[in-house]
Amino acid sequence: MRCSPSSMLNLLRTGRLRSCSRRGRSRLPLWLRKIWLYLKLLVRSLCFNSLTDSDVVFDSIFEPVFWTVDYVTRWFGLVFVCLVVILTSSIVLIAYIVLLPLVLNTYSPPWIAWHICYGHWNLIMIAFHYYKAAKTSPGYPPTEKNDRPFVSVCKKCIMPKPARTHHCGICNRCILKMDHHCPWLNNCVGHLNHRYFFSFCLFMTLGCVYCSISGRNLFLDAYNALETNFQTAAPPYTFKDRMIHKSIIYMWVLTSTVGVALGALTVWHAVLISKGETSIERHMNKKERQRLAAWGKVYRNPFHYGKLNNWKIFFGVEKNSHWVTRVLLPSGHPPHGDGLTWDIFPVRKDLIPV
């Protein structure tokens, strides 16, 4: 039997590798080899599944960080709620104790009637919608067996997930039509309380803008008075006057800051409602559009029924008078649908003709 040079070279290489592996095995103890093989298995498991991508690896690495944030948010939710109540109550007290006497003494009767009516209407709408948003359940999928259609199974709850349902790590359960978890409400924003949350943001923004605009001249007078007081040797104002000036400055700065920040959030949610999306679906639809664009296709949101119809569905407007009774006045009516099944229209049409 004739041996070629290449076959001899392969035999030499194989023998060398086996001898090196035997020497390596003889040097490492068995328990160290087991640990080393286990670590190699863990590293390879990150890339074992063909569906594994950078998002999965990122979530796995930062899972302790996410868990810490969820834990802190869950236990500090009551603190955030108390902070909202305290700050709002302080503005109301300043309005009644400081601003109302000034309005009654300096404004004309029509302006007095306007400020009293609008201010109290805005306050009632803020208090009503904040209470309902914080205390109303966002809506949960059924836990018992049923014949309702579902789109997937939750990896955390191991339960069927209806369309537009997502798992909240802070509440530790699935939420129907979940938008986000709001720490200022200590509650999730979902199918049953999404309208209350948006209405609270809207009327709180309107209230802050109202206070900022109507109190601008009072703020300038109070600021100039304090500046003059600091520059002179003898204080020309009493302690009561200085406290009034500081209260006006505090009210104007707080309402202006909250008005800008909350106003931007309100505009963002208004854009999402116009497109028939939630905050979570915004990111999902963006990824889906990019994925289909690579295939030369166009993705259309199946829950987008047209801008006006989206608003009518969101507010539950079924007839023209509901724009007043259900939007401009406090209303506890339930949302459209049960949150478990959704109508999908390839062609936009009026779901609720008005």
C-alpha–C-alpha distance, residues 185 and 85, integer Å: 11
The runs of H, that is alpha helices, within the chain are 5-27, 30-45, 54-61, 63-75, 77-94, 100-106, 109-135, 194-214, 216-231, 239-274, 279-294, 307-315, 322
Contact present, 314 and 277 (Cβ < 8 Å):
no
Q: Which amino acid is at 56?
A: V
Q: How buried is residue 178: exposed, middle or buried, by Cβ count under 10 Å (0-12/13-18/19+)?
A: buried
Query: What's the CA gap between 211 and 203, in Å, rounded?
Result: 12
Nearest partner of 138 among 348, 339, 325, 1, judged by Cα: 339
CA distance 165 to 154: 9
Bridge partners, residue 181, by sequence: 188
Residue 89 DSSP SS3: helix
Q: Answer yes or no: 154 catalytic.
A: no
Q: How far is C-alpha 309 from the chain's CA centre?
A: 23
Q: How far apart are CA 150 and CA 164, in angstroms?
A: 10
Annotated catalytic residue within 174, 182, 201, 208: 182
Compute the distance between CA of residue 306 and CA of residue 283 in angstroms, rounded to an integer: 20
CB within 8 A of 287, min separation 6: which ones? none
Active-site positions read: 182
